[in-house]
Amino acid sequence: MQEDLFNGNWAAKGKSHTQRECAAAYAHRQRAGALGVALLQMKMAFKKGQSTGVRALFFISGLSLLVAMLLALTFDLRSFFPALALPMPTMWAIHGTLNTFGFGLYWVLAWRAHGGTARTPTVF
């Protein structure tokens, strides 16, 4: 079991073909949504009327999420391109750190510095 966990086969264990397809579809939809958020944050970084610091925080946050999702995509494609795949513990460390600190922390700092409230920001 431990070996399966680090090989990435844990999601396929004991599941039917349909369940695996649904899990894969959900993962792809989640990544697509995250890529959209990353692009919107990077767009906010280029919005006029904000300080350079706030723009830098939004840019770092969006870029971190973009890189994390592209890293996850390369992990998904490991069966087609084995040279691109990172070992699972390395993937957890890099992907988790990018999401937690790069995306999460910098987004909260940017949003607070921007004077954000519970309302949705005007991006467009």
Q: Is residue 23 part of a domain?
A: yes
pTM above 0.85, yes or no: no
DSSP string, 17-56: HHHHHHHHHHHHHHHHHHHHHHHHHHHHHT-TTS-HHHHH
Kindly report the average pLDDT of the chain as a whole number: 78
Digit-coded pLDDT (tens) for 17-55: 676 667 667 777 787 888 888 888 888 888 888 889 999
* Mean pLDDT of the region 68-96: 82
Percent of the chain with pLDDT over 70: 75
Q: Is residue 120 part of a domain?
A: no
* Mean pLDDT of the region 82-94: 83
> Does residue 91 or residue 59 have the better pLDDT?
59
Q: Is residue 71 part of a domain?
A: yes
Helix (H) or strand (E) holding 114: helix 106-114
What Å distances lie between residue 104 and 61, 73, 97, CA to CA? 7, 20, 10
**Burial degree of 35 (CB within 10 A; 0-12, 13-18, 19+):** middle
> Does residue 83 or residue 105 have the better pLDDT?
105
Q: Is residue 26 part of a domain?
A: yes
Q: Is residue 63 part of a domain?
A: yes
Q: Is residue 122 part of a domain?
A: no
Residue 92 structural domain: 2-114
Work out how many domains the chain is built from and give that number.
1
Tell whether the model's pLDDT for residue 116 goes beyond 70: no
Q: Is residue 123 part of a domain?
A: no
> Does residue 99 or residue 117 have the better pLDDT?
99
